[in-house]
Chains A and B, each alone.
Chain A
């Protein structure tokens, strides 16, 4: 065995520094006091060129910010900082991603070791890109799953979900809340006379009108077919009726052939804790009444 041949106090002789990683020492003023051979062999600096210069010469501006704002405080607190991803310049000004470990000695000198991390950096780039793509896709899917394709209003599922939340909140703050079911009068006739394309067009126009007319806090949805559901938080009975009056007028602006569009509205108002299903069925009763009484009108649910 070779080791057996070594005398107890004799150190083996190594070739001059051949470590495939960088080693650097800076003093408390960030002045470079030592660099290993890696700086000349791999980073192409001249021997001795860096000694006595500020470490700032090695780092990109963003890495200097990290150096000052993260590495130093971490070293002051933990004495050691591991696995930081930074970017340094070689002598030719090329940016090289590195992974850094650093520790601070009692006299405030910082001992740095680092590896070239070009491949790992590529992996990070891909991971970040993938995360951003996934976030974007999730956002799109969420929007698709909650929106009615034709009118861009909330769809039935999202309306039910959000209404429940709003109802819970209204109950907590004891606010009056109104639920409106709006049903286009004789919509089947529009489809039969003018075709489904025109029918869709009417639904779209009404959707836009409702969106423009509603407040930011109102929930507005296409609940199915020619039925639209609106929830108006913090709205009294008289304000709701005023809202409906204006709505009837506005809807008439939409023309189908020579006639104006008309709709029936059923309203339910709650001041107490109520479930969405109950409030909906009350508004549905009122809508039925509005239709029986000749359509193109608003009826408010009254408890028998």
Chain B
């Protein structure tokens, strides 16, 4: 039970830019709000932008971490709802990367007035394989072994998933620059967030999304195949799928120019 200021402090909320329309930018697993820095300078010319860190990431207040609350994505969605309420935000455009696309969807379904549109960058509602009808990319044993190795190596998510999310063809310089800028976090929190992300199945949720949704998918993404993007687009009532000819899971960092105009146009379009 925190008041507005305490919530904004807990999630290290930053407001930048100018514009009557507000964009709410939610980072993905293994990152913090800095991951948006390749998009924000241009977007800030057109919109007011809300940036934040999930509890346990970046410069959030780690003392507010609760294993119970954040053991499921719903806990992270509560963060988003509370931030919007603290800022008295309605009708914003939600932009989420990877797992945050789903976290945003949970918030948008629970409080439909908060967001008028959703933009998902490399989303996946489920990383698990359920052959033959759905292939999320991983068998359960592999993901459990991955979580187990996270435990045993006891490293924060500092550089986790960096090149994987960027695709293996990115240059070493880019990998170095991006991975070095990723935040470092408590290993146990990292592992719990990974478990909430990788072992969940939110496919059922997609049909409940009422907001128009723009989906960016990478042509070659080890974490979310294009078939996953097609599945999401087919489930959401009013959606557009935009497959970018690129490698990796971090299009907003590796190919910001490919997303920029579409994001601006989609956010400005009257729905």
**CB of B20 within 8 Å of the partner chain:** no
**CB of B133 within 8 Å of the partner chain:** no
Q: CB within 8 A of B164: which of A63, A65, A74?
A: A65
B-facing mask of A102-141, CB < 8 A → 1, else 0?
A: 0000001000000000000100100010000001000100
Measured between beta carbons, the chain A residues less than 8 angstroms from B168 are 68
Q: Let me know if A72 and B163 touch, CB within 8 A.
A: yes
**CB of B113 within 8 Å of the partner chain:** no
**CB of A167 within 8 Å of the partner chain:** no
**CB of A217 within 8 Å of the partner chain:** yes
Q: Let me know if B180 and A61 touch, CB within 8 A.
A: no
A-facing mask of B151-173, CB < 8 A → 1, else 0?
A: 11101000111111100100010
Q: Let me know if B176 and A77 touch, CB within 8 A.
A: yes
**CB of A2 within 8 Å of the partner chain:** no
Measured between beta carbons, the chain A residues less than 8 angstroms from B146 are 61-62, 65-66
Q: How large is the interface on A (under 10, 10 to 19, 20 to 34, 35 or more residues)?
A: 20 to 34
Measured between beta carbons, the chain A residues less than 8 angstroms from B172 are 76, 108
Q: Let me know if A135 and B3 touch, CB within 8 A.
A: no
Q: CB within 8 A of A72: which of B145, B153, B165, B175?
A: B175
Instruction: Report the minimal beta-carbon distance from A213 to chain B, rounded to whole angstroms.
Output: 18
Instruction: Report the minimal beta-carbon distance from A216 to chain B, rounded to whole angstroms.
Output: 9
In Å, the complex CA distance between A166 and B1 comes to: 8
In Å, the complex CA distance between A60 and B148 comes to: 13
Contacts A128-B151, A128-B152 given: A73-B145 contact, CB under 8 Å? no
**CB of A87 within 8 Å of the partner chain:** yes
B-facing mask of A145-189, CB < 8 A → 1, else 0?
A: 000000000000000000000100100110000000000000000
In Å, the complex CA distance between A60 and B143 comes to: 11
**CB of A90 within 8 Å of the partner chain:** no
**CB of A86 within 8 Å of the partner chain:** yes
Contacts A60-B142, A135-B67 given: A86-B160 contact, CB under 8 Å? no
Contacts A60-B142, A69-B159, A135-B67 given: A85-B149 contact, CB under 8 Å? yes
**CB of B34 within 8 Å of the partner chain:** no
In Å, the complex CA distance between A74 and B138 comes to: 25
- Nearest residue (CB) in A for B146 is A62
Measured between beta carbons, the chain B residues less than 8 angstroms from A173 are 3
A-facing mask of B107-143, CB < 8 A → 1, else 0?
A: 0000000000000000000000000000000110011
**CB of A37 within 8 Å of the partner chain:** no
Measured between beta carbons, the chain B residues less than 8 angstroms from A76 are 172, 175-176, 179
In Å, the complex CA distance between A236 and B161 comes to: 51
Q: Let me know if B163 and A217 touch, CB within 8 A.
A: no
In Å, the complex CA distance between A86 and B164 comes to: 17
Q: CB within 8 A of B142: which of A61, A108, A139, A233?
A: A61
Contacts A61-B142, A73-B175 given: A66-B153 contact, CB under 8 Å? yes
Q: CB within 8 A of B145: which of A60, A68, A77, A128?
A: A60
7 chain-A/chain-B pairs, Cβ below 8 angstroms? A66-B146, A68-B168, A73-B180, A84-B153, A87-B145, A124-B151, A128-B152
Interface residues of B (CB under 8 A from A): 1-3, 67-68, 138-139, 142-143, 145-146, 148-149, 151-153, 155, 159-165, 168, 172, 175-176, 179-180
